[in-house]
Structure 1
């Protein structure tokens, strides 16, 4: 029995469904179960959304500049749970190859993509995300999920990938892991957590990636590309593959559309780091909307903890005056629990919260 074994329902390819140019969307995709809170206008978007310059954060010889950027990072993680990252240092050629290979994969005929189809008891492979019941509403998206590191966590589907895709994923995720660790160490530094505690939990942690495909939809207001959720990872790094927008983040009851900056990554704080920071940093609830005319493609890379550790608040943050705000749980149990339930906002991490009287 696999460490992260799941039990998913099979559903048809949404990309193929979209090709039929349906006038009426099948009822299982109609999201009448979702509230529609206010949506901020795009005008306020880039004025408010935090932007972090990685070069200023880690490569500056000027400590004042570094500390200023570290304070910006702390504010972004505490009050937003996400930020856009510029000057990130990941090779532009590697990024472009990853974009190209993702587009190429989704341009394949369905019978070719089905060679990488996941089994109902495995999260890895091509298919849909977290379908655990026949009554569940479905997202308007096809996804390709892979565990990428450490190598022993890779499932058989990884070795079946055609050479150009496999080599590009290995090259891209190696650079993203290096970037993720720098960010996690800086987040730890801003909280006063020793680097060795961050590294011991995350450096050899599980890394996974998800290639997302959101087809156009004739009734875009009735469906959702990906329903509101937070990620279980410590950190998520999102690459926008094409120009179609759709990501929205929740802040103070308002959904804010995010317009990615050129050559930037969008970085989300995940549930694991909210727990590790003892609730100081917040995982971000986000969702994906779809277009009536254009496909949207993105790649999310998740840096999680090791599977053989206990997840809980960092020991250096827990004192008599600042008790633990989250239960301690085995990492494998935590991630398996997330993968085997329907995505509902931040309900999973909230269930781990300790309510002190």
Structure 2
């Protein structure tokens, strides 16, 4: 695995593009200029907004898994993982092996990146045909209700897909910080996928080198909002990934997951990483394991940053239900075989809308 040693690395001209997104104003800049105004394009209908029954008491039921025990094959932790993937689609991992210094350096550098004037961040603005860089993703129409957030999105692995013109050079050392953090997350992802392979009845290395070769990083910036109940930081959606690994701020809640029809906040656990099942695992398991809708809510008093790593197959990998997971209760395949690159781009070309995009992979009833 190569590291960033200088800026002389030549980018691969064949590195893929993904999907266009309409350019939108910076929410952070908008709040700076007028913190007491929320444009109508960000205001949600009551049924779409955050005002729902408070289910905070369920936060403590979201599984917390010890990755050191899981990687050692501990039976109880494997059972906990199986339950988490079936019932929640989300879990938090502790003892994951990524150094605190690496996590904190990533937080410090990202916070510094968002501080300078807009013209500095716009040096890394997303191009018209892709979502790498600074800006907004999944904006597909002028009528669409917008999310209360800005983002920096980068493809990190495979290394030849890195487009360094979108990798910020400020603050100093940010590239190396992203590289170190992403390496740590990659290692965590491999450990988790080995255990997922095990509970799915396969050799522990069955998924490696097939469903985890692409890794992208999305750093979300959620400005404070004077009307937090009327907006959403990120619209409800499930992830198109194999798995997703998230680092949260420890003092601000924002992530919510849909569980039994209610939105449950994911309370940050010190030094933990949040992991969720992606659409790829749901398809491979024929729906046994669920990619769950989740969203981000706004905060009235303080900006929040989250760090999301999507671990995915490469474009040409075919994804379909595994034959040995079909059983008497569910003998028919719910999903057809899809080429991952087609599935991913198809989803990216539409607005985030819960799990509506997964219909592309399902057989018609």
**Do both share a fold (TM > 0.5)?**
yes
Q: Secondary structure at the match of 1:238?
A: strand
List runs of 5+ in structure 1 lacking aligned partners.
none
Deviation of 1:84 after TM superposition, in Å, equals 1.0
Aligned with 2:58 (options 44, 51, 76):
44
Q: Is the 8 A contact 1:4 1:332 kept in 2?
A: no
The Cα shift of 1:39 comes to 3.1
Which blocks of at least 5 consecutive residues in structure 2 are unaligned? 1-13
Distance 2:202 2:166 in 1: 35
CA separation of 1:207 and 1:159: change in aligned 2, threshold 3 A: same
- The alpha-carbon deviation at position 22 of structure 1 amounts to 4.2
Q: Counterparts of 1:45 and 1:160 in 2: how far apart (Å)?
A: 35
| Counterpart-to-counterpart distance in 2, 1:83 and 1:70 | 13
Q: Is the 8 A contact 1:139 1:223 kept in 2?
A: yes
Q: Which residue of 2 aligns with 1:353?
A: 362
**Distance (whole Å) between structure 2 residues aligned to residue 317 and residue 110 of structure 1:** 50
8 Å Cα contact 2:233-2:298 kept in structure 1: yes
1:329 pairs with 2:329: no
Cα distance between partner residues in 2 of 1:282 and 1:18: 36
Cα deviations across residues 300-326 of structure 1 (Å, max 9, x unaligned)?
A: 011001222111123433478733221
CA contact (8 A) 2:15 2:161 kept: no
**Alignment partner of 1:57 out of 70, 75, 98:** 70
Given that residues 38 and 253 in structure 1 are in contact (C-alpha distance below 8 angstroms), is that contact kept between their aligned partners in structure 2?
no
| Aligned pairs for 1:138-149 within 5 A | 138-149=146-157
Match of 1:238 in 2: 246
Q: Which moved more, 1:162-171 or 1:183-192?
A: 162-171
How far apart are 1:196 and its partner, in Å?
4.0
Distance 1:256 1:4 in 2: 34
Q: Kindly provide the CA deviation profile for residues 256-301 of structure 1, in whole angstroms up to 9, marking residues without a partner as x.
A: 1111111101111111111112211000110100111110111001
Confirm whether residue 6 of structure 1 aligns to residue 15 of structure 2. Answer: no
Rate the CA distance shift 1:118–1:299 in 2: closer, same or farther, 3 A.
same
Mapped partners of 1:5, 1:179: distance in 2:
25
Runs of 4+ in 1 over 4 A off after TM superposition: 318-321
User: In the alignment, is the contact (CA less than 8 A) between 1:225 and 1:287 conserved in 2?
Assistant: yes
Residues 124 and 146 in structure 1, CA contact (< 8 A), matched pair in contact too: yes
Contact 1:125 1:145 in 2 (8 A): yes
Q: What is the Cα deviation at residue 218 of structure 1?
A: 0.8
Is the alpha carbon distance of 1:89 and 1:3 closer, same or farther for their aligned partners in structure 2, counting shifts above 3 Å?
same
| Partner secondary structure for residue 198 of structure 1 | coil
Specify the SS of the correspondent of 2:33.
coil
Q: 2:206 aligns with which of 191, 194, 197?
A: 197
Aligned alpha-carbon RMSD (Å) = 2.0
TM-score by length of 1: 0.92
Q: Deviations over 1:173-206 (max 9, x none)?
A: 1111111011011011111023343124124x11
> What are the equivalent positions in structure 2 for 1:76-95 lying under 5 Å apart?
76-95=84-103
Q: 1:173 aligns with which of 177, 182, 189?
A: 182
Change in 2 beyond 3 A, CA 1:316/1:97: same
Alignment check: 8 A CA contact 2:133 2:167 kept: no
Residues 233 and 272, structure 1, Cα contact 8 Å, conserved in 2: yes
Q: Write the mapping of 1:1-357 to structure 2, written as runs, cut at 5 A.
A: 3-32=16-45, 34-35=47-48, 38-46=52-60, 48-59=61-72, 66-158=74-166, 161-162=169-170, 164-203=173-212, 205-241=213-249, 243-318=251-326, 322-354=331-363
In structure 1, the residue matched to 2:5 is: none
Deviation at 1:72, TM superposition (A): 0.5
Counterparts in 2 of 1:278 and 1:193: CA distance versus 1, 3 Å: farther
Aligned mates of 1:178, 1:2 — CA distance in 2: 23
